[in-house]
Structure 1
Amino acid sequence: MMIVSVCYAQKKADSIDISSLKLYPKKNPLPARRPVLQLQAVQIPEADLKLKVNYWRNWVTFGINVNQAAFSDNWSGGGVNSIAVGTQFNYKTDYTRDYKNYVSELILQYGKLKNRDQMQRKTNDRIFWDNKVGLKLSTNWNFFGSLNFESQFDQGYNYSKGKTGEEIRTLISKFMSPGYLTESLGFEYKPGKSFSLRIGTGTARQTFVLDTTLYRNNSKNFGVPIGRRMRNELAFQLVTNYEKEVFENINLKARYSMFANYHRLSNMDSRLDATVAARVNRLVNVTVTGIAIYDDDQSDKIQSSQTLALGLIYKFPR
């Protein structure tokens, strides 16, 4: 009987359910309070911040290109030894604040070509300085005043052959012969950064020929009466500027100016400058430049010029 009782007690102990003895912590036994954040503006005097706003923007471009060719004396294909060097410097600054704007652009270009057994010749020679002050009238219209100067660095020659075949050069231009100073007032239409149109209703231009002997080689004397050094004109002027990156790494820049003397409105002077620059890498550019001019004070026909250059171009800022 004793043995049976022990077995029964052991069996009863094995059948006890101990799951109810497991204790689990309650959810969120210690509730946490989220703090309420309150942000308040702190007023700091501007003098303590020492902040300065720069309303000026500047761009600088400098470039040089060199072309050279050499042939041996027995070169069957023919050819002339030559070397050409060209340089350019562009500087542009822009000041814009509220409704006021000032833009100044300086372009300096000069190039020389030397062929064997020939005199040196210029491939490029230009001084161009344009200044414009504008007051905003509306979203796309400004009232502007501008001052523009243009001339050349070096003497210019016309080349011909003498009776014995020798080369003869004749002086036809030089620094400030001619030189142009143009003042203009009017309205500017500028719908975006790429395009602008100036309408100069009140424009005056002074043409300078400081060398009074140039008329001997240039009968037109750039429109300045013989014996005088300056001629003044009142005119209506249009100036358009367009600059945009038309494709990736390809930039197009064009400027057209029209000058119509109020006494000869039917006979207008026009000049078109167009430049296409393709960037090969950070320093190397390929540039194609074209110029077309019609000015009856210089020639009765359209003058044209075209250049193709591969050279080093450095721009700041990049």
Structure 2
Amino acid sequence: MKKFLYVLSLIASATVVQAQNSEKELIKNTEQAAKKLADTIPNGWIKKGNISFLFNQSNFNNWTAGGENNLSGNLGINYDFNYKKNDVSWDNKVLASYGLLQSENSSFNKKTDDRLEFNSILGKQAFENWYYSFFLNFRTQFTKGYQYGKDANGAEIRNHTTSFLSPGYLTLGPGMYWKKNENLRINFAPLTSKFTFVDNTFTSTPGYVDGDYFGVDANKSMRYELGFYASAYYKFNLMTNVSFENTLNLYSNYLEDPQNVDIDYSLNVVLKINKYLSTNVQFQAIYDDNAFQGFQTREVFGLGVNYGF
């Protein structure tokens, strides 16, 4: 009887172990299949985008601590349209945003955001995740920009400093493109041309001559650079309904001060509340010594109304 129970227990143990192994193998195979499916991009166009509107308001009435009534709104568009056919991929992204601030004690409506950017990378697979590539990046703004101050009587004044296509940046060149998936990709371009376009009205105005206006020489409307360009894109979910989208662009000009690397970093954080509401945080830091001797930063935070398409 004891031998029978012993043999029975061995059979039961072996059955349990086999079942556990089968279960582990099934889970492993399922995970591998899911990963393969996620990494496999079908041929044709994949289009997706998001429109967001951020709104902020402050109102004070007999508030002893002080304050200024203001109203602001920001409209943003983030749109991707990507194409794939066998070993050829073409990734495109449009970023556009614009915001205004109306303040009770200001004579002017002031911009809180103004951005128009287009990114495009065409790639042909070389091996595994590497592609031969050609990229294009274009950046400018929608409307006039101003610097604000006060006159001798204390009245608010403004000086016109920038416009649409002034400056405008066009960067393009061949390179190598590493693409793990839609959310992780890096591009290297060692022979990149960069064009800076401006309105020559500024370069012929006192204070904006001799390369003082975005590096463009006096009475000129364009600056050319040749250098090394690298870009990286990484998007991940920190937790459920919380996504982080990171973009980094680096550029070094071979022709002048190659040690002064231009940096453009953007972070977009979306804390999704439901299908249409979210909390949005946008941060951008730029270093370009032809535009400003130091870091330029931009931050937008607010409750957003979102629509995906």
TM-score > 0.5 by shorter chain: yes
The aligned residue for residue 69 of structure 2 is 81
- Separation (CA, whole Å) in 1 of partners of 2:290 and 2:68: 36
Q: Which portions of structure 1, spanning 4 or more consecutive aligned residues, are displaced by more than 3 angstroms?
A: 214-219
Q: Which letter does structure 2 place at the counterpart of 1:257?
A: N
- Separation (CA, whole Å) in 1 of partners of 2:259 and 2:80: 34
> Could you say what the CA RMSD is over the residues aligned between the two structures, in angstroms?
1.5
The alignment status of 1:194 with 2:183, answered yes or no, reads yes
The aligned residue for residue 305 of structure 1 is 298
The aligned residue for residue 295 of structure 1 is 288
| CA radius of gyration, larger in | 1
- Offset at 1:188? 1.1
Cα displacement string for residues 210-257 of structure 1 (whole angstroms, at most 9, x for unaligned residues): 242255454620011110111111111010111112211011011111
The alignment status of 1:136 with 2:125, answered yes or no, reads yes
Cα contact 2:140–2:167 (8 A) shared by 1: yes
Cα contact 2:208–2:218 (8 A) shared by 1: no
TM-score with structure 2 setting the length: 0.82
TM-score with structure 1 setting the length: 0.79
Distance 1:218 1:160, change over 3 A: farther
Secondary structure, aligned partner of 1:212? helix
Among 151, 162, 168, the alignment partner of 1:173 is 162
- Separation (CA, whole Å) in 1 of partners of 2:201 and 2:82: 38
- Separation (CA, whole Å) in 2 of partners of 1:212 and 1:237: 30
Distance 1:140 1:280, change over 3 A: same
- Separation (CA, whole Å) in 1 of partners of 2:80 and 2:183: 15
Hey, which of these two has a bigger chunk of helix by percent? 2
The aligned residue for residue 146 of structure 2 is 157
The alignment status of 1:236 with 2:225, answered yes or no, reads no
The aligned residue for residue 261 of structure 2 is 268
The aligned residue for residue 196 of structure 2 is 207
The alignment status of 1:282 with 2:275, answered yes or no, reads yes
Matches within 5 A, 1:96-111: 96-111=84-99
Cα displacement string for residues 54-95 of structure 1 (whole angstroms, at most 9, x for unaligned residues): 6111002111122112222x2222111110011011221111
Aligned length: 263
Secondary structure, aligned partner of 1:213? helix
- Separation (CA, whole Å) in 2 of partners of 1:128 and 1:236: 20
- Offset at 1:101? 0.4
Q: Which letter does structure 2 place at the counterpart of 1:273?
A: S
- Quote the sequence identity (%): 29
